[in-house]
C-alpha cells in the first residue's frame, strides 16, 4: 500500500481490504476496518480480510467486544513469524479507502507484469459471455484491459457486475494469443467512497487523454481555419468515445471525397483504439466504416445500423455506438433516420460540406461541422476537414495523409483558395496532379464494385494511406484508373448519341440524356458519374455556361458550370409547386440530384428547366463540385 494515513485535507484514512488480500497488502502504521473473530482473556482476535488476522491485546483495547462486532484498528507490529499485532483506535472523522490484492496495476503496466498478481480498479465498459469465460473489459486511467473470469463453461461469472459498474479486479496477468489480460481470481463492485475515488481518477484521465492534439492546419487557409474549433470538438468527442469503450459506426458517402474523409480517419481511430486497448482485436470490433450510396442517411442504412448495434449489445455486451456521418448527414432527408436513432443512446456527429437545410438536423446531432455554417461553401471538402480531424486524433499519421486533401479537392472539383497549397504539399510528398487525379478515379472505380463493402485494405492501398508497398499502390492506381477510363469511354460511346440540346432563355446550353434508356445499366459508371462525364465533355466542347440533366424514370442528376443555380432551393420550391410530384433531393448549389414519382417526371423536369432558364450566368465559366455516383 502506498497511501499515507492522511488524505491531504486532514481526514484520517481507514482501509478496507478487498477480497483476496494477504499480509503482503498491509503495512505498519495504517488503519483498517476489522471484525472480531474470537475473544480470549488477553484480548480479541480480529479479521481485516479473509486471510489477514491478528491480535488486539487487552492493553490496546478501548472497549469490550463480542464475536462479529466491528472496530477500527491500527497495525502496530508485524512479527518475524508473520503474526500481526493491532491496537484499537477511535476517530470520528475518517475516509474509507478499499485496498485490492497485490499492487494496483493499470493497462499500461500489463506487458511488464506478466505472471504477477495484482488488481485493477476501473469501470466495466463491456461484459461478454463466451463459450468459456466471461470477459470483462475494464477501463482504468490509462486504457482498457480484458479480464477473464471463469465460473464454468458458458456460465456468467460475477453476474452482479455489469457495464458501467466501478469494480476492483484481482488476479494474475497472463498472456493470451500474444496479448496480456488479467485472469480473474476475484471481482468486487465498488460503492461509496471507494467508487468515487476510482471515478475521480477516470474523470481526470479522460479530461487529459481526450484533449485533441495541438496541431496547426496543413495549409494556411482562412476558410478552413473557421472550422478548426468545430473539428476540435468532434476530435474530443471521438477520443472520449474510444476511452469509454463505446463502438463507432462511421457512415460516409461512397465517392472520392467520402473515401478521402473516412479512410484517414479510420487509420487515426484504429491507432488510438490500439493505444487505448490491451486487446489487439479492439480496432476491428469497435470501429466499422460503412459506405452509403445515397448522399443522405437512408432508412435502409439506419435500420441495418440499429439492428447490428442492438445485436452487438445483446451478444457481446457492448455499449450502443456513436454514429459518425461523413460527407453526408446535413439535410432534411437525414432527419427521419436521426429520429429513429433518438429512441436509443446513440449519439450522432456530422462532418459534411453539402448545403445544409436550415435547422434540419440541429437538436438531433451532438456536433455538426459544415462550412456553410460559417459562410463558406463546398470548396472546403469533407476530405480536407477529416484529414485535419484525423491528425487531431493521431498526429503521427501526418506524413501518411498529407496528400489526401489534394485528392479530395480534385475528386470534388474544389476551386477553393487552399487547393494550390494542397497540390503543392502533395507534390512535395511525391504526388503530381496527374497521379492524384488517377487516385480519385481509382477510388470511384473500386468503390463502385465494392458496393456496400468497405474494402479496408484495398482502399488504403489505392489512397496510399497505411500502405506498406508504394510500388503496389502505383501499379494498382494505374490499372484501376485505366479500367475506369475504358468503361467511361464505352459508356459515353453509347450515351453521347442520345444527348439532346437546347438553349435556355438565359443563354445557357442545356443537355439532356436518359441514362436509364440510353446507357448501360448495372456497370461503371453509374448514372451520376455518366451524367458528370457527359457534362465535362460538353463544357470542354463549348466553353460556355452548361447545364446537364441525366434522368431516369424517377430521378434526375444535375450538373452546372457557369450558371448560378441553387439546387437545394429549387428542390424546396418544386416540392410545393408540382402537386403530386413527390419531389425530394438536394446536394450542392450547382450539383445534385432530385427524386420524384415516375408518372410526374415530365412535369417535374420541365418545371426544373424553367427555373434553370431564369438563373443568372457567371461572368467567367467556373467548375462545379463533383457529382455523386447516384
Residue 625: predicted pLDDT:
37
Q: Please, where are the H alpha helices in 320-366?
A: 335-341
C-alpha span between 381 and 327 (Å, rounded): 8
> 500 φ, ψ to 5°?
-100, 155
Contacts of residue 480, defined as CB under 8 A and 6 or more positions apart, other chains included, come to: 441, 442, 445, 446, 462
Please report the domains of the chain, with CATH numbers, ordered by start residue: 12-99 (2.40.50.140), 103-209 (2.40.50.140), 222-475 (3.90.1640.30), 499-614 (3.10.310.40)
Contact at 8 Å (CB) between 617 and 563? Answer: yes
Distance of alpha carbon 278 from alpha carbon 244, whole angstroms: 14
Q: Residue 619 has what pLDDT?
A: 65
Task: Identify the segments of the chain with pLDDT beneath 50.
Answer: 1-9, 622-630
If you write DSSP's letter for every residue of 185-236 in order, what string do you get?
EEEEE--HHHHHHHHHHHHHHHHHHTSPP----SS--HHHHTTHHHHHHHHH
d(CA 164, CA 373): 36
Give 24's Cβ-side CA count (13 Å radius). 7
Grid cell 453509374 — which residue?
A: 526
If you search the block for the grid coordinates 476530435, which residue do you land on?
235
State the pLDDT at residue 82: 83
Amino acid 93: pLDDT? 84
Task: Output the pLDDT for position 220.
Answer: 97
Q: Are 235 and 393 in contact (CB under 8 A)?
A: yes
Tell me the C-alpha distance between 69 and 485, whole Å.
86
The DSSP bridge partners found for residue 78 are 84
CA distance 31 to 34: 9
CA dihedral 355, 596, 515, 615 (to 10 degrees): -50
pTM of the model: 0.85
Give the pLDDT confidence score for residue 624 in this predicted structure. 42
pLDDT of residue 10: 54
Taking CA atoms, 9 is separated from 3, 5, 92, 95, 320, in Å, by: 14, 11, 15, 11, 40
* Residue 418 grid coordinates: 487552399
Closest CA to 113 of 82, 150, 142: 142
Amino acid at each position: 500500500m502506498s497511501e499515507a494515513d492522511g488524505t491531504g485535507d486532514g481526514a484520517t484514512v481507514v482501509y478496507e481490504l478487498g477480497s483476496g488480500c494477504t499480509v503482503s497488502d498491509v503495512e505498519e502504521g495504517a488503519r483498517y476496518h476489522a471484525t472480531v473473530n474470537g475473544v480470549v482473556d488477553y484480548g480479541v482476535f480480529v479479521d481485516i480480510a479473509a486471510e489477514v488476522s491478528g491480535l488486539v491485546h487487552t492493553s490496546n483495547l478501548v472497549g469490550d467486544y463480542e464475536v462479529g462486532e466491528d472496530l477500527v484498528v491500527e497495525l502496530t507490529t508485524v512479527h518475524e513469524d508473520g503474526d500481526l499485532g493491532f491496537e484499537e483506535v477511535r476517530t470520528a472523522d475518517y475516509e474509507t479507502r478499499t485496498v485490492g490484492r497485490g499492487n494496483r496495476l493499470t493497462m499500461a503496466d500489463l506487458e511488464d507484469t506478466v505472471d504477477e498478481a495484482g488488481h485493477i480498479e476501473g469501470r466495466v465498459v463491456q461484459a461478454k459471455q463466451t463459450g468459456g469465460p466471461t470477459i470483462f473489459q475494464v477501463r482504468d486511467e490509462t486504457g482498457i484491459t480484458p479480464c477473464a473470469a471463469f465460473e464454468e463453461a458458458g456460465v456468467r461469472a460475477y453476474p452482479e457486475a455489469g457495464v458501467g459498474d466501478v469494480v476492483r479486479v484481482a488476479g494474475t496477468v497472463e498472456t493470451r494469443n500474444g496479448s496480456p489480460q488479467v485472469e480473474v481470481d476475484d471481482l468486487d463492485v465498488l460503492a461509496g467512497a471507494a467508487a468515487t475515488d476510482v471515478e475521480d481518477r477516470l474523470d481526470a484521465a479522460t479530461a487529459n487523454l481526450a484533449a485533441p492534439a495541438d496541431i496547426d492546419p496543413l495549409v494556411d487557409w482562412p476558410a478552413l481555419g473557421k472550422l478548426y474549433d468545430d473539428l476540435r470538438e468532434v476530435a474530443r468527442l471521438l477520443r472520449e468515445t474510444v476511452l469509454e469503450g463505446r463502438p463507432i459506426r462511421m457512415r460516409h458517402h461512397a465517392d472520392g471525397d467520402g473515401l478521402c474523409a473516412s479512410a484517414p480517419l479510420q487509420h487515426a481511430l484504429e491507432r488510438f483504439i490500439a493505444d487505448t486497448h490491451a486487446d489487439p482485436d479492439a480496432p476491428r470490433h469497435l470501429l466499422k466504416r460503412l459506405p452509403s450510396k445515397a448522399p443522405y442517411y437512408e432508412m435502409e442504412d439506419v435500420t441495418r445500423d440499429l439492428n447490428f448495434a442492438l445485436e452487438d449489445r445483446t451478444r457481446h455486451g457492448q455499449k450502443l455506438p456513436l454514429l459518425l456521418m461523413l460527407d453526408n448527414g446535413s439535410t432534411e432527408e437525414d432527419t427521419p433516420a436521426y429520429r429513429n436513432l433518438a429512441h436509443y443512446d446513440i449519439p450522432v456527429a456530422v462532418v459534411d460540406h453539402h448545403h445544409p437545410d436550415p435547422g434540419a438536423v440541429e437538436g438531433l446531432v451532438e456536433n455538426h461541422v459544415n462550412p456553410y455554417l460559417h459562410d463558406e461553401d463546398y470548396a472546403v471538402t469533407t476530405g480536407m476537414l477529416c484529414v485535419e480531424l484525423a491528425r487531431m486524433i493521431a498526429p503521427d499519421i501526418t506524413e501518411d495523409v498529407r496528400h489526401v486533401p489534394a485528392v479530395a479537392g480534385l475528386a470534388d472539383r474544389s476551386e477553393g483558395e487552399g487547393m494550390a497549397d494542397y497540390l503543392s504539399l502533395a507534390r512535395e510528398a511525391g504526388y503530381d496532379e496527374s497521379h492524384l487525379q488517377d487516385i480519385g478515379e481509382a477510388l470511384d472505380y473500386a468503390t463502385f464494385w465494392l458496393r456496400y463493402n468497405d474494402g479496408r485494405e484495398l482502399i488504403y492501398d489505392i489512397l496510399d494511406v497505411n500502405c506498406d508497398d508504394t510500388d503496389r499502390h502505383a501499379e494498382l492506381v494505374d490499372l484501376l484508373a485505366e479500367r475506369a477510363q475504358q468503361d467511361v469511354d464505352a459508356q459515353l460511346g453509347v450515351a453521347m448519341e442520345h444527348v439532346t440540346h437546347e438553349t435556355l432563355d438565359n443563354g445557357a446550353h442545356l443537355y439532356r440524356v436518359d441514362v436509364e434508356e440510353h446507357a448501360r445499366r448495372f456497370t461503371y459508371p453509374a448514372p451520376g458519374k455518366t451524367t458528370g462525364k457527359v457534362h465535362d465533355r460538353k463544357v470542354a466542347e463549348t466553353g460556355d455556361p452548361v447545364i446537364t440533366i441525366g434522368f431516369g424514370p424517377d430521378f434526375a442528376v444535375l450538373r452546372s458550370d457557369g450558371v448560378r443555380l441553387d439546387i437545394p432551393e429549387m428542390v424546396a420550391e418544386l416540392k410545393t409547386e408540382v402537386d403530386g410530384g413527390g419531389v425530394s433531393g438536394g446536394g450542392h448549389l450547382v450539383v445534385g440530384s432530385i427524386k420524384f414519382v415516375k408518372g410526374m417526371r415530365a412535369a417535374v423536369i420541365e418545371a426544373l428547366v424553367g427555373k434553370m432558364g431564369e438563373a443568372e450566368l457567371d461572368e467567367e465559366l467556373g467548375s462545379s463540385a463533383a457529382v455523386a455516383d447516384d
